[in-house]
Structures are given as structure tokens and as C-alpha cells.
Amino acid sequence: MAEIDKAVQSGSAKPRLLLHACCGPCSSAVLELLVNYFDITILYYNPNIFPETEYLRRKDELCKFLPAFLGKKAPHVIELAYKPQDFYEAVKTVDGFEAMPEKGERCRMCYRLRLARCAKEAFDRQFDYFTTTLSISPHKDAQKINEEGKAAALELEKTHAGAQKIPQYLYADFKKKNGFKRSLELSAEYGLYRQDYCGCVYSSRNR
């Protein structure tokens, strides 16, 4: 909450936040926490998800959940083109990536890919902040996620030095304070499909 408080204390208008979302269940408790503090838009950019039918199912579940949960306050969803090659190009730089467990360097490269794109979209669309729902999962390394988010923000500052507005990364570990437990409760309440693997073809083999 400290990072959220810091983000919203500077003015009366809600800061604009671009929230990268991987699925409906992971978005649920995160949105419940953030919606009263930020003007949120969701970015659905997940080229890691395999196969495409799974990608579409997760997107559809997210889009179904938002109005059911938030009504007229439901955030707009920006969906970027599904390009699995983005993911494969990113992770192949890591030796032995196919056999790595979750939370390893393959996952870091995936965080980097998605957060860098979220940062770019946040800058192009003039958001105040960007972040991701990923840290709500106990299978994800929040420290690595936040490191990659901060790195993406620093790259924006370097690339766009002198720009009038550069979005900041919102640090978070959404699994804390029973965040993951709350996502389970909301998923059950709204009948959300909960996948049994992270998303990529390699994680699907370890189910």
C-alpha cells in the first residue's frame, strides 16, 4: 500500500494506470485493490500463452469478468496482436530455457518482454503509471517482476529524456496481505475459469 499511497497523494485526480493483465483470476483482487485509487486501463499482451485457444479463452474470461465485477467502472481493455514469436525470441537467449522451472530465468525474460511492452504503451498513450498483475501468483517471483518493471521505466527515461511525461513503474507484490487468497474467493464467486499452468508451452509440460 505504501507505493499506492505515494502514487495518489500528489493530486486530486486519479493517476492513469496501465495495468498489464494475464487473465481474469489474477486481475480480480488486483482490480479490487487499485480501482479506487487509479484510472485504470488494462493491457492484454501475452504472447507467451500457448496454444492460441488458451490465449483467447483467458482473454474472453477477463473481458467477461470486468463488467460483471465493476459494472460501469470496468476498465477499457487494449489487446495487442498475438505474436508467439515475440516470446520464443525472448526466451531463447537463456541457456537450457526449455527445462527451467517456474521463477527461473526463462520467466524473467518473459516478465521483461511483457513489462517492456507495457512501458512502451504507457509512454505512447501518456499514462502516469504502469504495472502488472503477475505478482499476485505464488508461482511468480515478485522481486524479479519488480526489477524488470523498474528497468523498463529506466529505459523509458533514457530513451525519452526531456519528454514532458514519462510513466513510472508501480512497485507491488499483490500476493501479500492475502491477495492470492482473495483472488481465489473472487474467482469462485464469479465462476471464473482458473487455468492449471502459467501459460507457455514449457509450463504446460510440467502440470
Q: In sequence order, what DSSP letters do the residues of 105-156 get, joined into one string?
A: HHHHHHHHHHHHHHHHHHHHTT-SEEEESGGGSTTS-HHHHHHHHHHHHHHH
Three cell numbers written together for 54: 488458451
pLDDT beneath 50: ranges in the chain: none
pLDDT for res 126: 98
- Tell me the sheet residues that pair with 169: 130
pLDDT for res 112: 98
CA distance 124 to 71: 27
Three cell numbers written together for 175: 500476493
Going from N- to C-terminal start, the domains of the chain cover 42-204
pLDDT for res 12: 65
Average pLDDT, the chain: 94
Span 153-191, pLDDT tens digits: 999 999 999 999 999 999 999 999 999 999 999 999 999
CA distance 28 to 50: 22
CA distance 61 to 25: 9
Work out the burial of residue 12: count CB atoms within 10 Å of its CB; fewer than 13 is exposed, 13-18 middle, 19 or more buried.
exposed
Residue in the structure block whose three cell numbers are 502440470: 207
Span 86-106, pLDDT tens digits: 999 999 887 888 878 788 899
